[in-house]
Amino acid sequence: MATISSPNTPQYFPLLELPRELQDLIYEYALAEPGGLLIDYRAIEDDNQLKYTCRQLSAETRGLGLKVNEIYIHSTDSRPVIDTFALFISICFKRCRRYLRRIALYQRSKSPHGPIDFPDHATLTPEILELSSPWLLGFCVRHPHCKVILCPEFLIKLNHSLQDLGDLVVVVSRLIWWVALTRECLNAAG
């Protein structure tokens, strides 16, 4: 015969009797997402369902999802992705921010289907950040342990990295210089 327990009846939970090191490995395995953790400001469901099991699990797993996953933040509507990131940071516990290691920000016209491969060298210089988003520059300065990658939709569509675009700019600049030099030589000769 099945017994019905009330919410106040203590339940036997063998996970909490394991050594802490083993518990931590289990938590990391349970909270690690293969494609990283996709953050959407409109999402209602929390990714860490373990914290609803009991207070002890809530305390032990707080911030662990941020620590064991790469974070992907996207914005598919008129809200700029940097604003979505700022909103995420504002609701993220201050002590959990130290767990952030790698965050990819991208603006897209529709939701992604799976992770996007962001090149490690797709970073912006402080000068560009200061002009485009002083808040993002401030975040990067305050959190040097965290790598923030900003990738607009056109780079995703073209499957280019910022390095490829930099190489393209160099080639185009050389081509423009060569055309100007050739015209100058032809004008001088003619």
What pLDDT is recorded for position 139? 85
pTM, two decimals, is: 0.60
Taking the C-alpha atoms of residue 168 and residue 42, their distance in angstroms, rounded to an integer, is 37
Question: Looking at the 3D structure of the chain, how many domains does it have?
Answer: 2
Whether residues 101 and 70 fall in one domain: yes
Q: At what angle do helices 81-91 and 134-142 cross, to 10 degrees?
A: 40
Q: What is the pLDDT of residue 41?
A: 62
Domain, as residue range, for 184: 160-190
- Same domain for 151 and 164, yes or no, is no
Q: Is 187 helix (H, G, I), strand (E, B) or coil?
A: helix
Distance CA 118, CA 156 (A): 9
Q: Do both 137 and 180 map to the same domain?
A: no
Evaluate whether 131 touches 80 at the Cβ level (below 8 Å).
no
- The pLDDT, as a whole number, for residue 82 is 80
Beta strands in 84-173 (DSSP E): 102-107, 147-151
Same domain, 46 and 66: yes
Q: What is the mean pLDDT of each run of 10 residues along the chain (190 residues)?
A: 58 82 90 82 65 81 85 77 84 81 75 51 54 75 84 56 62 67 63
Predicted local confidence at residue 19, as pLDDT:
92
